[in-house]
Amino acid sequence: MALAVTCSGAFLISAFIAGFVGFASSLERTEPVLLVQAEGVVALTGGSDRVLEAAEFLARGQARRLLITGVNRATHGADLEKILPVSRDLFACCVDLGYKAMDTAGNARETLEWARSRNIRGPLIVVTSNYHMPRAMVELSAALPGFTLYPFPVVSEHVNVRSWRDDSRVRALVAREYLKYLRAIVRTKWEGFAGGGDASGEGIEKPRFLF
């Protein structure tokens, strides 16, 4: 019995380590999708580089609307208008700011409500940091079933995920993200099984947008 428990524990640890290595290695191989047309582009806040990259898709005409989700409540539209590479008219007509999301699951719910309010049914470009992208895609795919999602992972100037083998700080960050990724998979699968993961919007508190 003790041997079976020991073997099971060793197997789980080995599986976790193998999964982590695969997860970390996949971040190195992630390449942005550039030549796509979409109805919307969504930037998950956490760094100005994410927002700037997302705005470029809008400026190039590759998306008709931009949602910046999880905006700090102290940030106003005028602040972002000054730094985004879009005209004043384009900002006024086509940039939406979501203030309700506090985490990645909240980003997904906010994106769902935005898509419904703006009658967006087509593809979405998803912009976030490369190490955050796997979890973001899990949450968004669960919240918006049937939507085509194009990931655009941003390489942060502060985090070089390719150095995870040698840099303990980066390795710790990627490990934390891997754990969050696994939790997101389990939670969204369970919610889907329990009937709480559909796109009906029932039970979802509506986010507040600056339109």
Q: Going from the N-terminus, what domains does the chain have, and what CATH number goes with each?
A: 21-210 (3.40.50)
CA separation for the pair 174, 124 (Å, rounded):
26
Nearest alpha carbon to residue 178 among 12, 11, 25:
25
Nearest alpha carbon to residue 125 among 97, 147, 143:
147
What the block records as the tokens of 161 is 């995920």
What letter does residue 134 receive in the DSSP assignment? Answer: H
What the block records as the tokens of 25 is 């290695």
Are residues 149 and 126 in contact, defined by beta-carbon separation less than 8 angstroms? yes
pLDDT at position 1 is 60
Crossing angle of helices 168-194 and 133-143, rounded to 10°: 10
Are residues 94 and 120 in contact, defined by beta-carbon separation less than 8 angstroms? no
How many C-alpha atoms does 39 have within 13 Å on its Cβ side? 13
pLDDT tens-place values along the chain, 211 residues long: 665 556 666 778 888 889 889 999 989 876 676 789 999 999 998 778 899 999 999 999 999 999 999 999 999 999 999 999 999 999 999 999 999 999 999 999 999 999 999 999 989 999 999 999 999 999 999 999 999 999 999 988 788 888 899 999 999 999 999 999 999 999 999 988 777 544 433 333 333 444 3
Spell out where the chain has E strands: 40-44, 65-69, 95-98, 124-129, 149-154, 209-210
pLDDT at position 50 is 93
Phi, then psi, of 42 in degrees rounded to 5:
-120, 125
Sequence-ordered alpha helix ranges (H) in 148-200? 168-194
